[in-house]
Chains A and B, each alone.
Chain A
């Protein structure tokens, strides 16, 4: 028995020594500021490129973990990241769960496109009612009279419709279902909005690549995918009827137009079903979230300053151009100035970090 105790004590001592060592290493490297962020996967291609560019130009080490919006929110709540990323803004109730007030900074606008696989049919038009009926399983054939009515002169085949959706929880699903809920009270009542839904028909596939692959491989399939992915893959997608009745094809311009209207000062708004006549209606901001008071958890002022500096770079021209390169729509000027105002409200020990 004695021997066992001796063994355990020795082991404990050994591990203790190891701990001491690693702490020493950490404290010697902590002078170099590095920022960590985690969250939404929807803007991942943009963030990867922008973070890399910023690291190269400024020498500040930035790391981003695409772990999903839910994970991003949790990480910020647990204070293990400098800022988080989310596709859906936090409701009052969710914000109340945080130890301190947080702010939302929009970084770009993404959209959700309705992609389909029909040989020889280009520029498919879908009215609001068509869209609802297809995804609720009421229209099951491509040559349905309702679809023909929206697409005069187009030869629609006698083929079953296979609906594809995201099987994983996703901001893309949230934006799509938010739009569907806005255009149809019936959808709102029976299915509603969320990152994952109870789908009445169809099949689920994992991630944008999964849904896109399913659509491309299945004649007669229809589904929704993030615009950044659809644009890069050159999948055919439908024109959607916006709130003014125009059929609008998704493009960087028509997506950006959805943020033209008036917005609340905190930018916490779903852009879906925009009132702008040129806007593509299934669009939405994606946000970075951070604490308003940056002095927490022993963070240094330098770290807080670099965080804010980086975030203001994200909404400015250089980063916004990167966003467009990877097929996200840029923030309209008005949204940029609003985001700037929000950043000015971020403080360290009560002192604003950005003048």
Chain B
């Protein structure tokens, strides 16, 4: 008979089936679209740094964009790490429960909700001139500027999850440590961090994943040159930004190459997530 429990089960089963359908469907469509590119270039597609869309000389390689993506995301993560870490300790432990902490927490959540195009515009008018003023390069575009805006964008992600994780550490443990004469510093580093570290780590993995896939703000600040960046302040391009830029007028082999890059991006994000999960288990 159809009772409430069975109906719930069926509905849950069907909805989770839909997720599987969507995910595998996406991979399949991307694979199908990417076939011509991989057929033409083979493995060279991943290691070639040539991106030449001119008719008759067409040759596509994803390496500059893979490097650009990883470089900007790592810069973002490095800048984000200390800032997000101290902010989350501030909100979640040191000033926990105070008005100041909840105000800062609110600001962090607000930052997370700002659309990326707004970050891009702000970066264009504020960060870029700043990079020029500092004398890093002539026009202010580049891998570093893009990494900087990404850092600002992912800080809220890393922070708000870390805060939750820090708050979840049981009070009994902390009280026990204090009663044994531990200082606040001892409690933070010997009680809170060991207990919350896998959660805090996950927050950074998520932040990194978001930096990898971010498109609009990066497009506006990285300089969009389709070559391997020669340094931190040189222009480059990322996988997501390249797709956003070139998809509109692409056809044939170029379109297939863009789809192949999308597929690679899909796998890279999957790898990062898998790697993160593995590390969490180890920690």
- By a beta-carbon cutoff of 8 Å, the part of chain A in contact with chain B is 3-4, 7, 67-71, 73-74, 160, 162, 167-170, 191-199, 202-206, 210, 213-214, 217-218, 220-221
Contact = CB atoms under 8 A, between A and B. Distances in A.
Contacts of B52: 198
Interface string B40-75: 000000000011111111000000000000000000
Given A7-B10, A192-B57, A198 B226 contact: yes
Contacts of B135: none
Interface string B222-246: 0111100000000101000000111
A73 B225 CA distance: 27
B37 to A, nearest CB: 16
B249 A68 contact: yes
B213 interface: no
B175 interface: no
Interface string B123-136: 01100110010000
Contacts, number: 98
Interface of B: 2, 6, 10, 50-57, 124-125, 128-129, 132, 138-141, 219-220, 223-226, 235, 237, 244-246, 248-251, 254
Contacts of A214: 139, 141
Nearest to A73: B251
Given A206-B220, A213-B124, A217-B129, A196 B225 contact: no
A168 B54 contact: no
Given A4-B10, A7-B10, A70-B251, A220 B138 contact: yes
Nearest to A204: B224
Contacts of B226: 198-199, 204
Contacts of A198: 50-54, 226
B246 A168 contact: yes
A199 B219 contact: no
B226 to A, nearest CB: 7
12 contacts: A167-B219, A167-B224, A167-B237, A169-B245, A169-B248, A192-B55, A195-B249, A197-B53, A206-B224, A213-B124, A218-B132, A221-B139
Contacts of A197: 53-54
B139 A196 contact: no
The interface centre, meaning the residue of A74, A168, A170 with most chain B CB atoms within 10 A of its CB, is A168
A206 B219 contact: yes
Nearest to A71: B248
A351 B178 CA distance: 95
B54 A192 contact: yes
Nearest to A94: B251
A195 B245 CA distance: 12
Contact of B53 (A162, A194, A210, A217): A194
